[in-house]
Amino acid sequence: MADSLTIRRVSASPDAYIPISALRSAGPTYAKLVDIGACIGCKGCEVACKEWNDLGVEPTANFGSYQSHKDLSPKTWLLMRFNEVEVDGNLNWLIKKDACLHCEEPGCLFACPAPGAIVQYTNGIVDFNQENCIGCQYCVTGCPFDIPRFDVHTRKVSKCNMCVDRVEAGLEPACVKTCPTNAISWGSKHDMLALADKKVETLQSRGFQNAAVYNPAGVGGTHMMYVVPHGDRLSDYSLPTDPTASPAPMTALGFLKRVGAYLMGFGVLGVLGHFLRYGPERLDEDGHDEDDHRGPGPASGHGAVPGPGAFSAPDAPAGPGAAPPVA
């Protein structure tokens, strides 16, 4: 069954700031679950990601590792990272699928000043729309997982989009489809959480006392979660212990909007005072009408939210008529 995409949040718009509690009722969201304990690091997902998203080959050289590239890039949205670590005298070859975690509260989206460059769909996927990207890279600093990558040639930022085109058509993301050991699962967040708990239980019964689900609360949880065998050693997997969606840009922007609204209010009051004191202005011979004198109000700015025709946002109706629910 194909799913129609509905937008939940839009960058640089009042829709970016909908309180999470208001969103929770929006309906089921998807999640990808990566079981690090079952991953063999074959890079099948890495190749499938490039194939499906047509990212192309990025020339690389062996740098003393099984890892194909040193880092994520605009052409490598998914990277298998390899790390050799000794835990209690036992060698562990930690292999982690590094890609966007699709935060419930996406720091990239909150940080983005370009209207519509980053959207979050109601199904949980966080997607970049390059046509609206202004290349400022605020999303790069806003991401607590260091995922988005800036392309110096196109001046745009990109990252994993959870194969949103496949998901819209009712398919799983390409990486999930290709995984040979079922280390990547796909389903509703609810089901994936239950599966994750089961997998943690299995790991614990195999002696991994600290096995844990990685679904950090600081970003409201994620739509790509990990089952981590050594939950007490997150940094060895290059996973931040307590990531948060940096609220700074959002708060600052909100504050500025509030200031703007007050200033506008004072302006209106000033005009009113002027009117009361001096009375209505008379039309001159050239016939200038009232419209020429009406300044842009807050609502007009909101109207700049891009709405690609296919997208709609019923839960938080956007558009010129809606009042900005400024926090």
Binding site for another protein (CB under 8 A): 37-44, 46-47, 50-51, 57-66, 68, 84, 86, 91-93, 95, 180-183, 199, 202, 205-207
Q: Which residues share a beta bridge with 127?
A: 119
Q: Which is nearer to another protein, 19 or 56 (CB)?
A: 56
Nearest approach, Cβ of 300 to another protein (angstroms)?
Answer: 47
CB of 255 to another protein, least distance (A): 46
Token pair, residue 311, equals: 């997208």
Q: Which residue carries 């890495």 as its tokens?
A: 46
On whether the CB atoms of residues 6 and 121 are closer than 8 A, the answer is: yes
Question: How crowded is the C-beta side of 76, counted as CA atoms within 13 Å?
Answer: 18
Measured in degrees and rounded to the nearest 5, phi and psi for residue 103 equal -65, 145
Q: How far is the CB of 154 from another protein (least distance, A)?
A: 20
User: 225: closest CA among 36, 44, 54, 82?
Assistant: 36
- Helix, strand or coil for residue 292? helix
CB of 27 to another protein, least distance (A): 31
Which residue's CB is nearer to another protein, number 65 or number 241?
A: 65
Cβ proximity to another protein: between 139 and 200 the closer is: 200
Cβ 307 vs Cβ 129: under 8 Å: no
Minimum Å gap between C-beta 150 and another protein is: 21
Choice between 206 and 258, CB closer to another protein: 206
Nearest of 127, 121, 134 to residue 148 by alpha carbon: 127
Judged by beta carbon, residue 66 or residue 255, the one nearer another protein is: 66
